[in-house]
Amino acid sequence: MLFGKTIVVTGVASGIGRRTAELAGQLGAEVIGVDRSRPDRTTGTFVEGDLSTEAGVKALADVLPGQLDGLCNVAGVSGNTGAANTLAINFFGLRGLTEALLPKIREGGSVVNVASIAGFGWRETPGRAAAIARTSGFPDAGSIVAEHQIPDEAGYPVSKEILLVWTMLAAHQDAFRARAIRVNAVSPGPVETPILTQFREVLGDERVNSDVDRVGRAGTPGDIAPAILFLCSDAARWINGHNLATDGGLEAAIVADTQNF
């Protein structure tokens, strides 16, 4: 499905990023994996990089090669390090890397952002999400958090709300549209990864357990990676600006509840 394509995957040291890189390689892609920690096993080429600062993003973008077909933005943090750091990595760093690599992505390429069911709340605060998504460059995340009064415990869901709104906006920006580069998102529910324990600390056991109970089980990285790579493939060539809920039906259950279906 990805034979002959060159795909960059961030967050390859563990979890969804690792499985996405492995599967991409099995599907015929040349994989370039990125993480701030070297994985214990590597698929394709590994590049160390840090998305938490503007300088880190620039350094990473400078060493990545050209002629890319896809960028899978999987790397992210749980929110346990505070709202400012969470927004810096989960949104500003992700967006900064995407925009820096844009000239290196071939016409007709694909960007896939890993968001979360936790970002569902953008519908309730679209103005805040859009205002932050429309900022330019790599602003001071602490100032953004202060301006919008984002508490530390809300850093993770807010970062994903912004990412979902930016996905829709970017899909129609001239920089992407002029070269037919698609921008989509995948939103997992709870997934059995090393970071799930941190999510429990941030979101609470009650929230996580409730989400798992609604769909019968937590997901696995193997449930999420195929959806990410489908959006990288030519089979998804007419899908753009879309958020693919990959959550066992959790979003559908939440919508049914909130809309009193």
Residue 164 predicted with pLDDT over 90: yes
Residue 205 confidence (pLDDT) above 90 = no
Find where tokens 């979890």 sit: 15
Task: Give the Å distances, CA to CA, from 96 to 18, 24, 244.
Answer: 22, 23, 22
Confidence at 167, pLDDT banded by 50, 70, 90: very high
Which pLDDT score is estimated for 125?
Answer: 93
- Given this model, what pLDDT does residue 207 score? 86
**Residue 22 among the catalytic residues:** no
Instruction: Give the residue among 176, 165, 182, 156 at the shortest CA–CA distance from 78.
Output: 156
pLDDT digits (tens, 9 = 90+) for 81-101: 999 999 999 999 999 999 999
Contact criterion met (CB below 8 Å) for 152 and 82: yes
What's the pLDDT at 163?
A: 98
pLDDT band at 151 (very low <50, low <70, confident <90, very high): very high
On the question of pLDDT at 142 being above 90, the answer is yes
One of 122, 138, 156, 199 is an active-site residue; which one?
A: 156
Residues 2-58: pLDDT tens digits?
999 999 999 999 999 999 999 999 999 999 999 999 999 889 999 999 999 999 999
Mean pLDDT of the chain: 96
**If pLDDT is split at 50, 70 and 90, which confidence band does 181 have?**
very high
Domain boundaries, the chain: 6-258
Q: How is domain 6-258 classified at the architecture level of CATH?
A: 3-Layer(aba) Sandwich (3.40)
pLDDT score, position 242 = 98
Reply yes or no on whether the pLDDT at 200 is more than 90: no
User: Measured between alpha carbons, how far is 182 from 82 in angstroms, rounded to an integer?
Assistant: 31
What pLDDT, in 10s, does the model give residues 219-242?
Answer: 999 999 999 999 999 999 999 999
Angle between helix 155-170 and helix 196-203 axes, rounded to 10 deg: 110
Task: Supply the pLDDT for residue 124.
Answer: 94
Look-up of token digits 């996580």: 208
CA distances from 215 to 145, 210, 211 (A): 33, 9, 7
